Amino acid sequence: MDYRIEHDSMGEMQVPADCYWGAQTERSRRNFLIGAGIETMPAEIVRAFAVLKKAAAAANKTLQPARMTDGKCDAIAKACDEILAGKLDSHFPLVVWQTGSGTQSNMNVNEVIANRGNEIAGEKLLHPNDDVNMSQSSNDTFPTAMHIAAVTAIETKLFPAIDELVAVFRRLEKENEGIVKSGRTHLQDAVPIAFSQEISGWRSSLERDCEMIKLLLQSLKTLALGGTAVGTGLNAPKGFAEAVAEEVSKITGTAYVTAENKFHALTSKDEIVAVHGAVKALAADMMKIANDIRWLASGPRDGLGEITIPANEPGSSIMPGKVNPTQCEAVTMVAVQVIGNDTAIGMAASQGNFELNVFMPVIAYNFLQSVRLLAEAAVSFTKNCVTGITANREKMHDNLYNSLMLVTALNPYIGYENAAKTAKKAFAENISLKEACVSLGFLSEEEFDRVFHPENMI
């Protein structure tokens, strides 16, 4: 492999000749062989850095044009655009498990932009610290990148995926109107429910989860940029924080504002914790819905069997013809991962010592993994399972009329205790509710038929 010599404040380093990163990136690449090549800094964070570096250059150009010239700003912007287009992905090799402030990833971005920008300009125009990192610190850029990446991932990936799932549930509600089935509580028979009502519960849960995420997401549209090292804004020109937030808003099409208190923005990760908590709530509901569907589809002969779901692949290497609810299983595994991520994020956020939280890379990694997994699981679940749900009307009817809890309809006519006696007798003797009620003398056959209508109990 061919190398070139790069240097930083600690001295010279050999860097692969075909890579745009510099000495600080190379030091980190060699010093942190933890999850190398696998658990690298999320691409969403790298792209968010490109957004903020482009925005910072534009703000600096306005506020201190003697330092940020037109040529420098243009070179930075073009290099950032290439990062945003995914053209330079291979030049960001650093792992999540590095310094807790994300300093090396900030410098990785600075070095790539500087070297690629110089190549674009055709001259040695940019310095990674003096120019690309002008008016910034890793301590305010990394939390800014976290917020931008989180908002972008949720708004462009998670919300559309859940919206599509909600739309399919809404269609299923309409298609299954009029079907009455047995409700269930405590995994035991309960009073009747319309299948469309059961589906509406799934749909409404997802809608409510997204409403909560949207409400909390506003807190992530505040940026730490401008706080520099400890929140005081040292080495940033007056007005930089506001100007850079405005530039980020232009680039992303999302309205961001500068954080009111930079000391809070650097050290506290409460906004991330709150938003991920709402994401966890979504994961919990996704698990509940997936479990409901696989229970209702259990069988095909010895389970509930009230719905049929698509048969996507063979389910056993030894049992011929077996088909399993694999999409439901994938959703529930994703939900478990998200719940675990929430614990990691909460613990990491609690470690903000004095003026800086130094667990930011692991927070960003887990947050973005949760959003990505949930979005992709929702897309797969919708496409490969939910769209193909069909009601087994005959099985629902049989289960409904075999349910002892239909006796609840008799409460107004024979009282709770007599209704309980009726249910117990029917269960003990394996007879119908009607037979039990009439034999106990609580109602005549005609009276029973007149008042007993399960389809009206919903």
pLDDT digits (tens, 9 = 90+) for 208-224: 999 999 999 999 999 99
Residues whose CB is less than 8 angstroms from the CB of residue 51 and which lie 6 or more positions away in sequence, other chains included: 80, 84, 148, 248, 251, 252
Least Cα distance to 270 among 351, 158, 366 occurs for 351
Q: How much is the pTM?
A: 0.96
40: confidence class by pLDDT, cuts 50, 70, 90: very high
Query: Which of 316, 350, 439, 444 is labelled catalytic?
Result: 316
Listed in order, strand segments (DSSP E) in 224-263 are: 257-258
Query: Distances from the Cα of 248 to the Cαs of 29, 36, 57, 99, 221, in angstroms?
Result: 29, 31, 11, 26, 10
Query: Which of 7, 127, 137, 186 is labelled catalytic?
Result: 186
For the domain bounded by 140-392, which CATH number is listed?
1.20.200.10
Contact predicate 226/232, CB 8 Å: no
Q: Return the pLDDT at 363.
A: 98
3-state secondary structure of 391: strand
Q: Is the pLDDT of residue 352 over 90?
A: no
Q: At what angle do helices 270-296 and 326-349 cross, to 10 degrees?
A: 160
Contact predicate 323/315, CB 8 Å: yes
pLDDT (tens digit per residue) in 404-433:
999 999 999 999 999 999 999 999 999 999
| CATH 1.20.200.10 placement within the chain | 140-392
| CATH 1.10.40.30 placement within the chain | 403-456
Residues whose CB is less than 8 angstroms from the CB of residue 358 and which lie 6 or more positions away in sequence, other chains included: 99, 100, 101, 351
8: confidence class by pLDDT, cuts 50, 70, 90: very high
> Percent of the chain beyond pLDDT 70?
100
Helices (H), ranges, 324-415: 326-349, 360-384, 393-401, 411-414
Mean pLDDT of the region 68-78: 98
6: confidence class by pLDDT, cuts 50, 70, 90: very high
Burial of 432 (0-12, 13-18, 19+ CB in 10 A): middle
For the domain bounded by 403-456, which CATH number is listed?
1.10.40.30
pLDDT (tens digit per residue) in 257-274:
999 999 999 999 999 999
Q: Return the pLDDT at 1.
A: 83
Mean pLDDT of the region 442-448: 96
> Percent of the chain beyond pLDDT 90?
98
Active site residue 316: yes
| C-alpha dihedral, 369 to 145 to 275 to 357, nearest 10° | 100
Q: Is the pLDDT of residue 165 over 90?
A: yes
Mean pLDDT (the chain) is 97
| CATH 1.10.275.10 placement within the chain | 3-134
Q: Is the pLDDT of residue 455 over 90?
A: no
Residues whose CB is less than 8 angstroms from the CB of residue 379 and which lie 6 or more positions away in sequence, other chains included: 161, 164
pLDDT (tens digit per residue) in 281-336:
999 999 999 999 999 999 999 999 999 999 999 999 999 999 999 999 999 999 99
pLDDT (tens digit per residue) in 360-393:
999 999 999 999 999 999 999 999 999 999 999 9
For the domain bounded by 3-134, which CATH number is listed?
1.10.275.10
pLDDT (tens digit per residue) in 126-137:
999 999 999 999
Residue positions counted in the chain: 458
